[in-house]
Amino acid sequence: MSDQQALSAGNISEWLRCTRAALKDDSGAEVPCGECTACCRSSYFIHIQPHETATLSHIPDELLFPAPGLPKGNVLMGYDEQGHCPMLKNGACSIYEYRPATCRSYDCRIFPATGIVLTGKDRTLISQQAQRWKFSPSDSVDQQTQKALQKAGSFLRNKSKWFAPGELPGNSTQLAIMAIKVYDLFLDEGEQSIDDAKMAKAIIEVLKKFDAQRDPL
Ligand code: SF4
């Protein structure tokens, strides 16, 4: 069945460079989604920020509601009874050119890259798609990069007890993004000599530094 065929995820180092840059400047990812609309059909609430005026002008007001816990102007768009985004029409995004930044930056390659598995019954479509991606490491740098990402993902998954309450995100998407932000801590083989408590502390420090580099909106 063609749905199960492997998809080329590209070169891991190049993908990581672009993904980390996009996380800093909200520029969005160039994801070769093709005709896949799995994330548009997975019961996601789509966050839209106040500065996304072009997007907001293309979505009917009645589909939007204030985002809980966020400053005024931040809104969410829900989904229909099938879990589909209301802007998904005839199997495609009807506002593709103006789609929210949340949609532009959604890249399910973060799961195979970090070894973190997307869970939840509403996420089956994305999970199936994510499993199809295959990165193509070509040299030793790529191989080290891939290994470090997997180690970062594994640490965040398996060593949660070393983190303070609230330091780790509660969902697998944010956990995979966190692994991408801190992967370089796992590049050095010397990381094996750091105990878990110190590594957890180092992760939180690197994360804060990464987020401090984000472009102001
Ligand atoms: S706005 Fe478009 S890209 Fe975003 S979830 Fe809806 S249909 Fe998909």
Phi first, then psi: what are they for 6, rounded to 5°?
A: -65, 145
In a domain, 42, yes or no: yes
Same domain, 50 and 92: yes
pLDDT confidence band for 191 (50 / 70 / 90): low
Range of the domain at 82: 37-104
Domain count, the chain: 2
Q: State the Cα–Cα distance between residues 213 and 211, nearest whole angstrom.
A: 5
Q: Which of 99, 107, 129 to probe ligand 1 with, by most ligand atoms within 8 A of CB?
A: 99
pLDDT grade for 1, boundaries at 50, 70 and 90: very low
Q: Please name the residue whose Cα sits nearest to atom 4 of ligand 1.
A: 103
Tokens of 197: 């408590």
Counting from 1 in the atom list of ligand 1, the atom nearest the Cα of 59 is: 1
Q: Which stretches within the chain are classed as H helix?
A: 12-25, 53-57, 101-104, 110-114, 124-132, 140-158, 172-182, 196-212
What pLDDT digit, counting tens, does each position of 132-155 carry?
999 987 899 999 999 999 999 999
- Clarify whether residues 143 and 195 are in a common domain: yes
- Identify whether 203 is part of a domain: yes
The two structure tokens encoding residue 159: 């060593």
Residue 176, amino acid:
A
Mutational test site, ligand 1, from 40, 77, 105, 126, max ligand atoms within 8 Å of CB: 40
Checking if the pLDDT of 122 tops 80, the result is no
The reply to whether 22 and 46 lie within a common domain is no
Q: Answer yes or no: is 169 within a domain.
A: yes
Residue from 35, 95, 102, 104 whose mutation best tests the ligand 1 pocket (most atoms within 8 A of CB):
95
Smallest CA separation from ligand 1 atom 8, residue: 40
Summarised one tens digit per residue, pLDDT across range 2-45 is: 456 888 999 999 999 999 998 888 666 778 888 889 999 999 99
Tokens of 1: 């069945």
Burial class (CB in 10 A: 0-12, 13-18, 19+), 195: exposed
| Residue 196 is assigned to a structural domain of this protein | yes
83 and 155 in a single domain? The answer is no
Burial 104-141, CB ≥16 within 10 A → b, else e: bbbbbbbbbbbbbebeeeebebbbebbbbbebeeeeee
CB 103 less than 6 A from any atom of ligand 1: yes
Are 216 and 152 found together in one domain? Answer: yes
210 and 155 share one domain: yes
- Whether residue 217 sits in one domain with residue 140: yes
**Does residue 129 lie within any of the structural domains?**
no
- Closest residue (by CA) to atom 5 of ligand 1? 40
Would residue 126 count as lying in a domain? no
Residue that is last in its domain, among 81, 104, 127:
104
Domain membership flag for residue 125? no
Residue 169 sits in the same domain as residue 97: no
Q: Is residue 192 domain-resident?
A: yes
What tens digit of pLDDT does each residue of 57-85 get? 999 999 999 999 999 999 999 999 999 99
